[in-house]
Amino acid sequence: MPGPRLTVVGSINLDLVARAERLPRAGKRVQVPTGVALITVDAHGENEIVVAPGANLELKPDDLVIDDTDAVLCQLEIPLETVERASELAPDRFFLNAAPARGPFPAADVTIVNRFEKEALPERDGVVVVTFGADGAVLYEDGNEVVRAPSPHIEAVDGTGAGDAFTACFVVSTLEGRSQEEALRRACAAGAIAASRFGAQTSLPTAAEVDALL
């Protein structure tokens, strides 16, 4: 039996990762350069990312052709009008990783944010998943907590890509028909594995690695 089909509408960047003891914070085919993300990672694996979006801002609503898919996953490193168009073209379920937090952005069947992005998120109906790093994640429906999952204990090396791993695992697990509780547990495991490795794409775990950790 074929697996679920998912279309991802988002950005692509050339990541430059630099290590630092402390973070400096208080509290494509167009004639435009490729997007660049500068990532600083501290000794505890916490990271901060500054993105020069480049060609990502050239992805326009009319560029989208979405068909033969079971769901669409989108994020906010592309123009908001393109995100809106992606939600309109989604044949069934629309998932949104509302990062970086900015708006207004369209409604989604599931909205995924981290604890800092949640502060900037207006009240939303439906399912909202909030990640809390080492403290796991919580799934809310219409503002009410429904499911909470812990994060497996790991030695944090680099949090870059952990949110992407979490989001991808949660969405795929949901499309596979798993329960909200199982999808959230698997997503926390995927995020933990990514945080235990250095780098972005190189840190992303396989489904087998997620199963082994659980």
| Phi, psi values for residue 76, rounded to 5° | -110, 25
Report DSSP letters for 61-130, one per residue.
GGG----S-SEEEEESSS-HHHHHHHHHH-SSEEEEE--S--S-----SEEEEEHHHHHTPPP-SSEEEE
Query: For residues 145 and 127, is the Cβ–Cβ distance under 8 A?
Result: no
Catalytic residue check, 135: no
| Phi, psi values for residue 164, rounded to 5° | -65, -40
Tokens representing 131 are 């990640």
Q: How many C-beta atoms lie closer than 10 Å to residue 61's C-beta?
A: 14
Largest CA distance in the chain: 51
As a whole number of Å, the CA-based R_g of the chain is 17
The active-site residue out of 42, 68, 70, 164 is: 164
What whole-number distance in Å separates Cα of residue 31 and Cα of residue 17?
A: 25
Instruction: Kindly list the catalytic residues.
Output: 164
